């Protein structure tokens, strides 16, 4: 499996949004309860840059497989060295070890971007993602109990962190 990370362009936004929207119904990985639009994600897209907050397309054997991004934490200058990593994969690419490759890449590039703390915001019932992050020695830095109302079911948010 040949994996390539390519900086996304605005022309990639429709497929990025489609991948994201493919996870909404599961109530496992995002707190959005309805699919989002490309237009609603333009500001989010523009907050990314290759030198500080990258947004990568993940290609496997020259085929689009998903995306990964670094997102600013809390938006204050003292937190510039802390980012949240998001990994969203096409349904057919999930469960094949690609998340592991993505997280390895995320950890590896942190020093190049002056990032010292990498965060994962993961629902407490998302066992596969929690397992993945724990494999990479992330630690539980916060547990926010029953803060997400997912169609009447209250879900916990776990914040995992790693010093890199």
Q: How many of the other CB atoms lie within 10 Å of CB of 127?
A: 11
On whether the pTM is more than 0.85, the answer is yes
What structural domains and CATH numbers belong to the chain?
A: 3-163 (3.40.630.30)
Token code pair at residue 157: 């948010």
| Residue 119 pLDDT | 98
Write the CA distances from 9 to 12, 21, 37, 42, 60, integer angstroms. 5, 19, 17, 11, 18
Residue 8 gets which letter from DSSP? -
DSSP, collapsed to helix, strand or coil, labels residue 61 as: coil
- Measure the CA angle with vertex 2, ends 120 and 14; round to 5°: 60
Residue 64 in contact with residue 90, Cβ under 8 Å?
Answer: yes
Residues of the chain with pLDDT under 50: none
User: 3-state DSSP call for residue 37?
Assistant: coil
Identify the pLDDT of residue 75: 86
> Does residue 48 contact residue 1 with C-beta atoms inside 8 Å?
no
């Amino acid at each position: 499996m040949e994996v390539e990370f390519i900086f996304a362009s605005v022309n990639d936004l429709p497929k990025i949004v489609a991948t994201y929207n493919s996870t909404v119904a599961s109530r496992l990985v995002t707190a959005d309860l309805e699919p989002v639009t490309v237009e609603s994600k333009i500001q989010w897209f523009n907050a990314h840059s290759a030198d500080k907050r990258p947004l990568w397309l993940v290609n496997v054997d020259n085929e689009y497989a998903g995306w990964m991004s670094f997102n600013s934490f809390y938006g204050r200058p003292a937190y510039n060295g802390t980012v949240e990593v998001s990994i969203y994969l096409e349904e057919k690419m999930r469960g094949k070890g690609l998340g592991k490759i993505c997280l390895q890449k995320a950890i590896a590039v942190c020093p190049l971007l002056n990032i010292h703390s990498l965060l994962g915001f993961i629902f407490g019932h998302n066992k596969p993602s929690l397992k993945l992050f724990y494999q990479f020695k992330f630690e539980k830095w916060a547990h926010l109990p029953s803060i997400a109302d997912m169609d009447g079911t209250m879900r916990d948010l776990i914040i995992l962190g790693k010093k890199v």
